[in-house]
Amino acid sequence: MISLRDLTFSYDERTVLDHVDLDLEEGELVLVAGRTGVGKSTLLGVLTGLVPRFTGGVLSGDVLLDGRSIVHQPPRERAHLVGYVGQDPLAGFVTDTVEEELAYGMEQLGIAPETMRRRVEETLDLLGIAELRGRALRTLSGGQQQRVAIGSVLTAHPRVLVLDEPTSALDPNAAEDVLATITRLVHDLGLTVVLAEHRLERVVPFADRICLLTGDGRLRAGEPRTMLLDSPVAPPIVELGRAVGWSPLPLTVRDARRLARSLDLRPAPEPAPALLASPLLDARGVTVTHGNRAVVRDVDLTLSAGRVCVLMGRNGSGKSSLIWALQGSGARRSGTVAVEGDDPADLAPAERRRRVGLVPQTAADLLYLESVDDECAASDRSARAEPGACRSLLDRLAPGVAGATHPRDLSEGQRLALALAIVLVARPRVLLLDEPTRGLDYAGKAELARIVGDLAADGHAVLLATHDVEFAAHVADEVVVLAEGEVISQGPTRRVLAESPSFAPQVTKVLGPPWLTVDEVTRAMAAARVTAPDGDGT
């Protein structure tokens, strides 16, 4: 159906795609995977025509649709053939309401009004959003926005739908709804869907094929079970299968649970409870309102030295509003916040940043200079850190980012890694992170977990809001769950995550409590081998 032939793309003398050949079939769901910055978004951009037209760079080779070349066809002329939804659906909206957004693309294509009306109604029903037709787009939840964004390109009746990290900003339940919608489009309508995603645990069970970008410009493609045997990026359930030696590898929780019946594992004893450390941030009765609506309601929260607290909850539950209120830049309707005795809202901006570091959801908000090197050098000076300290942190989170690159030309994950490095280099006593793993691959998340753990070990307090349950299982000492702005659950990570069907990590779903991570399983297996009767006990 759609084919890439000997496709090569280079940017700033770096080869991103190198002689790529790929055939995509009708009614196929194809997952594009790989490390942060290897060219996943670039590959999607070539399919849509956005690359190189709006990015620069040099493209050679061909893109064929039913044997006809479309490589020189501008995006507008491809819109009825290839639909595209980017990483931030809200940023792509151009109208105010759901119904207007669904019709807008058709208006630009000159489709007759009676056809437009029929297609809008069909799309509202197909995606299950008919009750949202008159809603303002900015009032929708993240999952609802994502479905509207998909609907806005579906009304043009494209043959291929291209999605860039469609679930990265969504809570687990919203992600399931969006993936159910995508799967229905593939199975019922025969639509070809190509999507890039870092949270492979969400998408692998639905994928027909995986296209793996290896980092040297080459692309490997095959069915998921084969590709994941040696893939450098793999979901926890596959890592578990590799560690235990299961063959064939399980791709779903159901498959893994069947194989897990033969396992006999004993969890390590729980460590002794940590001594209560001094609180670095204490919040009491915090309430935040947007207009007449309370989005945070009477929240009490203490962040102690040496502890990592994770904030979880559905999209729109109040996590970001609470974080900004704790940092002091966000307005509070009522309640108190004290950081080492001072209200951060009363501190001068420089002193506030020194005490309470914040990486917001939109990492680009922190980036304003002309190159990565400039950003890192300015951060080192501002933090009075050794020259190169910020760059060293960036290399740990996202290796290989060229220093001369403009921040706007980085991938979403690379921009996030740069923003994290800029804030982390100052080593603030209290660190607030809002969705810090969006766009990071598994290796980047593991490195971030180590950096956060090192900060906590040095006596800092960390609060991070995330939908990434796997990351939370690795890094959190305690978890706080919000719903409609109120705390509905709070306690040790193992208890809170294991009790929740929505927020339980994959390993917990397979093996049950108290297991949370693959690392715990491998340590238990190693301990069992050491203490086995035929071992030497050393």
Tell me: the pLDDT tens digits for 273-319?
A: 666 678 999 999 999 998 888 999 999 999 999 999 999 999 889 99
In the prediction, which pLDDT does 531 show?
Answer: 67
Is the Cβ–Cβ distance between 493 and 500 less than 8 Å? no
In the prediction, which pLDDT does 113 show?
Answer: 94
Where are the domains positioned within the chain? 2-234, 279-504
In the prediction, which pLDDT does 274 show?
Answer: 65
In the prediction, which pLDDT does 143 show?
Answer: 82
- Helix, strand, coil in percent for the chain, rounding step 5: 40, 25, 35
In the prediction, which pLDDT does 538 show?
Answer: 42
- Spatial separation of the C-alpha atoms in residues 191 and 517, rounded to whole Å: 36
| Bond from prior residue into 514 cis (ω within 30 degrees of 0) | yes
In the prediction, which pLDDT does 533 show?
Answer: 60
DSSP 306: T
Q: What are phi and psi of 346, to 5 degrees?
A: -90, -5
Rounded alpha-carbon distances, angstroms, from residue 141 to 94, 257, 322: 17, 33, 17
In the prediction, which pLDDT does 6 show?
Answer: 97
Per-residue pLDDT tens digits of the chain, which is 538 residues long = 899 999 999 988 889 999 999 999 999 999 999 998 899 999 999 999 999 998 889 999 999 988 899 988 887 788 788 999 988 888 889 999 999 999 999 999 899 999 999 999 999 998 889 999 999 998 888 888 999 999 999 999 999 999 999 998 889 998 998 899 999 999 999 999 999 999 999 999 999 999 999 999 999 999 999 999 999 999 999 999 999 999 999 999 999 999 998 888 887 777 666 666 789 999 999 999 988 889 999 999 999 999 999 999 998 899 999 999 999 999 899 999 999 899 999 999 888 988 999 999 888 889 999 999 999 999 999 999 999 999 999 999 999 899 999 998 888 889 999 999 999 999 999 999 999 998 889 999 999 999 999 999 999 999 999 999 999 999 999 999 999 999 999 999 999 998 888 899 999 999 999 999 999 999 988 887 776 565 454 4
3-state class (DSSP) for residue 380: helix
- Spatial separation of the C-alpha atoms in residues 304 and 310, rounded to whole Å: 13
In the prediction, which pLDDT does 91 show?
Answer: 83
Q: What are phi and psi of 463, to 5 degrees?
A: -125, 125
Is the Cβ–Cβ distance between 426 and 386 less than 8 Å? no
3-state class (DSSP) for residue 218: coil
In the prediction, which pLDDT does 264 show?
Answer: 82
In the prediction, which pLDDT does 99 show?
Answer: 96
Architecture of the CATH domain 2-234 = 3-Layer(aba) Sandwich (3.40)
Extract the tokens encoding 388: 């190169």
Between helix 372-383 and helix 389-397 the angle, nearest 10°, is 130
In the prediction, which pLDDT does 529 show?
Answer: 77
Looking at residue 160, its amino acid is: V
3-state class (DSSP) for residue 34: coil
Extract the tokens encoding 34: 């790989």
- Spatial separation of the C-alpha atoms in residues 489 and 496, rounded to whole Å: 7
- Spatial separation of the C-alpha atoms in residues 62 and 333, rounded to whole Å: 57
Strands 29-33 and 430-434 come out as unpaired
| Bond from prior residue into 158 cis (ω within 30 degrees of 0) | no
- Spatial separation of the C-alpha atoms in residues 278 and 289, rounded to whole Å: 30
Name the β-bridge partners of 480. 311, 490
Residue range 279-504 forms a domain whose CATH class is: alpha beta
In the prediction, which pLDDT does 73 show?
Answer: 86
Determine the distance from the C-alpha atom of residue 240 to the mean position of all C-alpha atoms in its chain, rounded to a whole number: 21
Q: Do domains 2-234 and 279-504 have the same CATH topology?
A: yes
